[in-house]
Amino acid sequence: MPEEPPERPPLVDASAPSAPRVYDYLLGGKDNFATDRDLAERLEAQAPGRGGVREMARVNRRFILKAVTWSASMLGIGQFLDLGCGLPAKPAVHEAARDGEPGARVVYVDRDPVAVSHMAALQAGTGLAAVLADISVLPSVLECEAVRGLLDLRQPVCAVFGGTLSAMSADTARKAVAGYAEAMAPGSTVVISCVSYTDPEFAAKMEAMFGAAGEWRSHSPENVASFFLAANLRVVRGKVTDVRCWPMLATETPAACVLGGIGIKDRP
C-alpha cells in the first residue's frame, strides 16, 4: 500500500537535482534550488528557443490543462487521476477540471515525497487528495484509500500522464497505460504527452544529461502511438500529434516537440 503524505515535509536534498524541481523551474516556479536551475539551463543550452526544454515544458503544461478541461467540459468527466503530478503549478489540474465540471474530484499521485507533501499542503477545499506511490505499480495507486474513497472507477475517469511516461521504458509505459485503462469505465479518457527528439544521438545526449535528476527518455512517435494502441484507446482527432497544435493535427513532426493526445475508452 502507498504511504500517506507525511505530516511534516520530508528533508530536502538540495545537493543533487530533482526532476520535479527542474520541471518547476522550467515552468517559472520557485520550489527549486541552484542544482536544479543549473541542470535546467545546461539542458536548455543544448537546444534553445522552440526546441528547448523550457519551451517544451510550457507547451506540455498548456496541453495538460487544455486536455483536462476538454475531458470535463466536452465529456462531462468529473474524476481525475494526475499520475506523476510533480510540484504544484498554477493553474492546477483541479482548477482546469473545475472550469469544465464544477465539483470535479482530483487525486494527485507522485513517487517524490517532497512533491506529494507540497501538493497536500496547498490543497484547499474538498474533493482533492495527494498520494505517495509509484504509478507504474498500479495496485499502489488504484487500491489506496484516497483513490477508493474519492473516485468511483465504475464511472468515467480521466487519467493524466503529463510527461510521466518519459520516466519509463516504452514497454513499461505501454503496460501502465493499458492497466489503468482496463481499470476504468467506458467513457474514460487518458491524456498522454511525451517529449520526442527525432535525432537518436541528440536524444541519448539529453537523456544522459537529465540522468542526474532521474530517469528520462525521448519516445518516438511510434512509441507514443503504441501507448494508446496497447490500451485499445481511440485517439481524439485520429492520431498523436505535436501538442502545440492540439486540438488541430500537426502537418509534420518537428525535430524536437511534445507528442501526445487524448485517448477515449469506448464501450466493448
pLDDT in tens, 70-118: 999 999 999 999 999 999 999 999 999 999 999 999 999 999 999 999 8
Interval 154-161 mean pLDDT = 98
Res 6: pLDDT: 47
| Segments forming the whole domain that contains residue 258 | 56-264
Helix, coil or strand: residue 147:
helix
Residue at 203 is within a domain = yes
CA–CA distance, 87 with 186 (Å, rounded to integer) = 30
The Cα-based distances of 82 to 48, 118, 180, 245 in angstroms read: 29, 15, 12, 22
Residue at 101 is within a domain = yes
Residue at 28 is within a domain = no
- What CATH number corresponds to the domain at position 141? 3.40.50.150
Res 1: pLDDT: 43
Res 149: pLDDT: 94
Res 50: pLDDT: 77
- The count of structural domains within the chain is 1
pLDDT exceeding 90 applies to what percent of the chain? 84
In contact, 190 and 233? CB cutoff 8 Å: yes
Residue at 10 is within a domain = no
Residue spans of alpha helices (H) in 131-248: 138-142, 145-150, 170-183, 200-210, 221-230
User: How many residues belong to the chain?
Assistant: 268
Residue 3's pLDDT band, with cuts at 50, 70 and 90, is very low
Return mean pLDDT, the chain: 93
Res 216: pLDDT: 94
Residue 45's pLDDT band, with cuts at 50, 70 and 90, is very high
Residue at 12 is within a domain = no
φ, ψ for residue 233 (rounded to 5)? -100, 140
* pLDDT over 90 at 125, yes or no: no
Res 2: pLDDT: 45
Residue at 26 is within a domain = no
* pLDDT over 70 at 10, yes or no: no
* Cell numbers found for residue 193: 504527452
* pLDDT over 70 at 254, yes or no: yes
Res 192: pLDDT: 98
Residue 29's pLDDT band, with cuts at 50, 70 and 90, is very high
Residue at 204 is within a domain = yes
pLDDT exceeding 70 applies to what percent of the chain? 96
* pLDDT over 70 at 168, yes or no: yes
Residue at 1 is within a domain = no
Res 155: pLDDT: 97
CA–CA distance, 27 with 106 (Å, rounded to integer) = 21
Interval 2-7 mean pLDDT = 46
